[in-house]
Amino acid sequence: MASSSKPIILATRKLPQPVEERLSGAYEAILNPDDRQLPIDELLRIAEGVDGILCTLTDKMTPPVIAALPARVKILATFSVGYDHIDIPAAKARGLVVTNTPGALTDATAEITFLLLLGAARRAYEGETMLRSGQWTGWAPTQLMGRQLHGKRLGIAGMGRIGQAVAKRGLAFGMAIHYHGRRAVDLPTELPATFHADDADFLAHCDYLSIHMASTPETRHWLNARRVGLLPQGAIVVNTARGDLVHDEALIEGLTNGHLGAAGLDVFAGEPNIDARYLPIPNAMLLPHLGSATVQTRCAMGFRALDNLDAYFAGKAPGDKLA
Ligand code: GLV
């Protein structure tokens, strides 16, 4: 393996076949066909013989892990847009190049946001449970009445690429768009949206709240008990960004005490060991972090990570360089 003139790349997880084929064609690839989550000591051992690592959000690249990476490893290309699993300052200090895959999963994430908005609003989990458990006795005028999207206010926390893709779809559903973030965004005229610099003012305008912020130490637990309390009675919360943006205690309390109407969650703090108190809540639609999980998007993410590796090993600056 070491005699190859091609750079050696470790892919920490099993990737879609077309991605592994391209990786294996351009590099000496170390694959993970069983898709086993590599314990960090094993990853570090394998890394002794590699030039770059194609990692995912399940590999926690903390400062001690980055410091322990063998000197030979020059680049970490993550198969994700989010990079909260990588300590960027530590990577910079170590001279490690880090790249992500922005853009590749925008549409898939915006689409799953609407699966959750609609599923939470229309009580999809309760309906499916009733039907599959044999409890459905037939159509009834007052059965499982939910809420509509049309004519309601959709609040977007974090109007980046994904937030804007969600806003666009919200307009098509007849929703009025409000948003909050560090600053107003220069939006195209076909995307009318009201900016609220003040979080309390923003939250008061959210019949539906959809979270699209990056997870950072500053945004951790952004949706806390105070902010849940500022949402209108019956508001619906959707999170397709990162679990730790939400304080589980506050959201669970809001869902069980009747202040919130429902929630749709694709991401959780401590995945996959999520707060078990979510599991019995009927007005919560829960998905196991599937936001980018379409064949098209998972291939696009892999190709984007490979574009970054190709650029780096060709001596050029990777397009998505974070460090
Ligand atoms: C998925 O959650 C990603 O960050 O790509």
Q: Which amino acid is at 57?
A: L
The ligand 1 site (C-beta within 6 Å) comprises: 57, 80-82, 105, 291-292
- Considering only CA atoms, which of 171, 158, 115, 128 is closest in space to residue 291? 115
242 tagged catalytic: yes
Distance 87 CA to ligand 1 centre (A): 16
Residue 192 CB neighbours (<10 A)? 11
- Kindly write down the DSSP assignment for every residue of 224-270, as one continuous string: -HHHHHHSPTTEEEEE-S-GGGB-HHHHHHHHHSSSEEEEEES--TT
pLDDT at residue 1, rounded to an integer: 47
User: Which segments of the chain have a pLDDT < 70?
Assistant: 1-4
Q: Is 107 helix (H, G, I), strand (E, B) or coil?
A: helix
pLDDT digits (tens, 9 = 90+) for 129-164: 999 999 999 999 999 999 999 999 999 999 999 999
111 tagged catalytic: no
Protein residue whose Cα sits closest to atom 1 of ligand 1: 80
Segment (H or E) for 202 = helix 199-203
- Considering only CA atoms, which of 106, 65, 60 is closest in space to residue 270? 60
Question: From the candidates 94, 122, 169, 289, which is the catalytic residue?
Answer: 289
| Ligand 1 atom nearest 80 alpha carbon | 5
Distance 282 CA to ligand 1 centre (A): 26
Distance 81 CA to ligand 1 centre (A): 5
Segment (H or E) for 30 = strand 28-30
For residue 123, give every residue at least 6 positions away whose Cβ sits within 8 Å of its Cβ, in sequence order, or none: 144, 146, 262, 283
| Inter-residue contact 43 to 12 (CB < 8 Å) | yes
Segment (H or E) for 88 = helix 88-94
Residues of the chain with CATH 3.40.50.720: 8-104+295-313, 106-286
Within 13 A of 93's CA, how many CA atoms are on the CB side? 13
What is the rounded distance in angstroms from the CA atom of residue 81 to the CA atom of residue 162?
A: 10
| Inter-residue contact 209 to 231 (CB < 8 Å) | yes
Distance 102 CA to ligand 1 centre (A): 9
What is the rounded distance in angstroms from the CA atom of residue 123 to the CA atom of residue 140?
A: 15
E strand spans, 72-164: 75-78, 97-99, 153-157
- Residue 177 dihedral angles phi and psi, to the nearest 5°: -100, 130
Can you identify the CATH homologous superfamily of domain 8-104+295-313?
A: NAD(P)-binding Rossmann-like Domain (3.40.50.720)
Note if the pTM is more than 0.95: yes
Exposed e or buried b for every residue in 85-97, given b needs 16+ CB within 10 A?
A: bbbeebbeebebb
pLDDT at residue 4, rounded to an integer: 57
The CATH fold of domain 106-286: Rossmann fold (3.40.50)
Question: From the candidates 123, 242, 247, 298, which is the catalytic residue?
Answer: 242
